[in-house]
Amino acid sequence: MKDIRHFFSLKRDPFAQDLPPADLFELPSLAPLQKRIEFALSLKNFTLVTGEVGSGKSTSLRYVTHHLPTGAYEVLFFTAGTYGMTEFYRQILLCFGVVSSSYKSSIMIKQIQDFLREIHGRRVTPVLIIDEAHLLKTEVFGQLHLLSQDAYDSNPLLPTILCGQDLLIDKLMNPSSKPLASRILGRSHLEAIRKDVMVSYIRHHLKIAGTTEKIFSDDAITAIHQGSGGLLRRANGLCRGALLAAALEKNRQVSAEHVRAALTELI
């Protein structure tokens, strides 16, 4: 990437994954996603964010959490795996900095709820975000709502955002997941972006990297949109690969041929 920056006179790595939330491109889906999530959180409910692999789910969550009212929420975040219920509780305790070796769910639930009540005591709402939630075992969806219950379920403790692929919906349709599914308020599904959005997306990333030059030709952008299917992660990979291909040929503008060369490097 250093060679690419030098050749195209860029100040930063283009199409980087670690952009600060303030520098993220505002996709058309972000504003309604943010409003839907904030509405669910205000009512202390569960909400869903789904989308294909590479559609920008995790990045969208970074955007949303960055724009939550300052001091109003305490975000607890972890990336799911094929966890059973015991390991799931351990992961939540890790969000509080607690390493638990207990195998007793009742003890861990009490620990978690004590932490949640302490947060509420500060007039702050805890929010649990579970990324890659489709990987969780079905038993977790059957009991997840228990963490949120307090005072005969009249005062939910833990509004939760479940984020994952469409398989997440299938798991929530399981009869054992019905108590959780009944508490879900709103679902946001991230679609592949249109070509006109891709044009703005690429221009935005180049501007963030330090240039307003038209480095990508119109045909190159068309090839990127077609080759990525409108999915952001794949588009980023194609853009970086095409920049490298152009730089190797000492060409200051990326062509469709450079994009097609980059496409052969992706799976």
Residue 66 belongs to a domain: yes
Residue 223 lies in domain: 2-16+193-263
Higher-pLDDT residue of 250 and 100 is: 250
At 102, which CATH number?
3.40.50.300
- Residue 157: the pLDDT is 85
Residue 25 belongs to a domain: no
- Residue 222: the pLDDT is 97
| Count of other CB atoms within 10 angstroms of residue 130 | 24
Residue 100 belongs to a domain: yes
Please answer whether residues 257 and 14 qualify as being in contact, where contact means their C-beta atoms are separated by less than 8 angstroms.
no
- Residue 41: the pLDDT is 92
Last residue of some domain: 157, 190, 223?
190
The answer to whether residues 118 and 204 belong to one domain is no
The answer to whether residues 210 and 155 belong to one domain is no
Q: In the chain, how many domains are there?
A: 2
pLDDT level of residue 55 (50, 70, 90 thresholds): very high
Q: Report the mean per-residue pLDDT for the chain.
A: 91
DSSP state of 146: G
Side chain identity, residue 52: E
SS3 173: coil
Rounded distance between C-alpha atoms, residue 197 and residue 145, angstroms: 38
pLDDT digits (tens, 9 = 90+) for 210-251: 999 999 999 999 999 999 999 999 999 999 999 999 999 999
Last residue of some domain: 190, 211, 235?
190
Please answer whether residues 249 and 224 qualify as being in contact, where contact means their C-beta atoms are separated by less than 8 angstroms.
no
What pTM did the predictor assign? Answer: 0.89
pLDDT digits (tens, 9 = 90+) for 111-155: 998 999 999 999 999 999 999 999 999 889 988 888 877 655 567
